[in-house]
Amino acid sequence: MADRIPTVLTGVKPSGTPHIGNYLGAIRPALGLADRYERSLLFIADYHALTTVQDAKEMTESIYDVAATWLACGVDPKRTLLYRQSSIPEVFELAWVLACTTAKGLLDRAHAFKDAEARGKHVNAGLYWYPVLMAADILLFDTTVVPVGKDQKQHIEIAREAAERFNHVFGETLVVPEPAIDENVMTIPGLDGEKMSKSYGNVIPLFASSKELRSLVMKIKTGSEALEDPKDPDTSLVYALYKAVATPDEARAAAERYRAGGMGWGHAKHELFERLDAELAGPRERYAKLSADRGYLDEVLAEGAARARRIAVETLWRVRKATGIDRAPV
């Protein structure tokens, strides 16, 4: 059995331009976790994206976009191994091994392909296999903790079952990971009050220019109270976004200003814009530089992949030995 090095790992699918819902719901919380673990890995799940992104140019752009986005938001590539899933061939070998001990019935119950099926979409075999590949991503690095959004809960359950089943058949070999699902991370609303999502066309892009950011914030729906009227922060979309980005103290102070009256919606939106702009100005500037420097991004990703592979090769070797297919990895 492996030593349990406290290891945090998460994967990000390259698809679409990131929005502030992704930032506040996934990126910012994950950055906070990296420092608390001895080993931290963050990878771009490009082969997972292939189940839906089937345009070469779009795929390549999105891969660099994810790398530039996370680095711009503060991932330190010296501490966190940042790599592409596709650079780690051991992932795919482990996926096959896991498929052979995982019950088909477990995959039959997976939401992801069932939802796609229910929406009348074409379901490729990759989508059906998605949880096995994801289990391999996780188990290959003796991951102890996987921070994910609520929608990924079932996938982590499947990864745990895959590890337990393998261990049951071949003896204690794989570390069984724990999910870290922060139930308090709120769902960030979009401009129309629905969940902010690229599928709903209601997003504020994370790296919108100051000018675009201001004009999008001005479009957020508000009530029709007069300037002098007290306003209820808890039913306000403008406040919900402010609260998500600001510190608890800032949010409390703003709630008092809403309730006191005398502050119009124009002013409230202006405060939200200023707060968002202050938070995002640094990342926006870094993103512009990073995304124009693919040479640097390639270097970071190659370095991350080389370091990650050292761990991967060892785990796979342990797995192969356990199965009796123990040719030394080349």
Interface residue list for ligand TRP (CB under 6 A): 9-11, 13, 45, 48, 134, 137-138, 146, 148, 152, 155
Taking CB under 6 A as the binding criterion, the range among 196-204, 207-215, 252-260, 310-318 that sits at the site for ligand ADP is: 196-204
Q: Which residue is nearest to ligand TRP (CB)?
A: 11
Closest CA to 49 of 118, 134, 152: 134
Decide whether 65 or 137 has the Cβ nearer to ligand TRP: 137
Nearest distance, CB of residue 19 and ligand ADP, angstroms? 6
> Of the two residues 132 and 217, which places its CB atom closer to ligand TRP in the complex?
132
Task: Tell me the window of 19-27, 125-133, 219-227, 278-286 that interacts with ligand ADP (CB under 6 A).
Answer: 19-27
Determine, following the binding rule CB under 6 A, whether residue 132 of this chain makes contact with ligand ADP.
no
Which whole-number Å values give the CA distances from 218 to 105, 117, 143, in the listed order?
50, 38, 43
DSSP string, 260-301: HS---HHHHHHHHHHHHHHHHHHHHHHHHHHHT-HHHHHHHH
Distance CA 66, CA 181 (A): 21
Helix axes 294-323, 153-170, angle to 10 degrees: 40
Q: How far is the CB of 30 from ligand TRP (least distance, A)?
A: 10
Q: How many residues does the chain have?
A: 330
Work out whether strand 39-44 and strand 7-12 pair parallel, antiparallel, or are unpaired. parallel
Is residue 205 a contact residue for ligand ADP (CB under 6 A)?
Answer: no
Q: By C-beta, is 99 or 251 nearer to ligand ADP? A: 251
- Phi, psi dihedrals of residue 149, rounded to the nearest 5°: -75, 165
Q: Does 195 bind ligand ADP (CB under 6 A)?
A: yes
**d(C-alpha 119, C-alpha 121), whole Å:** 6
Q: How far is CA 175 from CA 10, 97, 329, in A?
A: 16, 15, 21
Selected range binding ligand ADP among 20-28, 98-106, 248-256, 295-303, rule: CB under 6 A: 20-28
Which two tokens mark 321? 């030995």
Q: Which of ligand TRP, ligand ADP, none binds 187 (CB below 5-8 Å, type-dependent)?
A: ligand ADP
**Of 33, 163, 194, 34, residue with least CA distance to 101:** 163
* Of 7, 8, 11, 21, the one binding ligand ADP by CB under 6 A: 21
- For residue 11, the 8-state DSSP code is E
Distance of closest approach, residue 151 Cβ to ligand ADP, in angstroms: 6
Residue 9 φ/ψ, nearest 5 degrees: -140, 140
In the complex with ligand ADP, the residue whose CB is nearer, 161 or 192, is 192
Q: Which lies closer to ligand TRP via its Cβ, residue 9 or residue 163? A: 9
Which residues contribute to the site for ligand ADP (CB under 6 A)?
21-22, 25-26, 149, 151, 187-188, 195-199
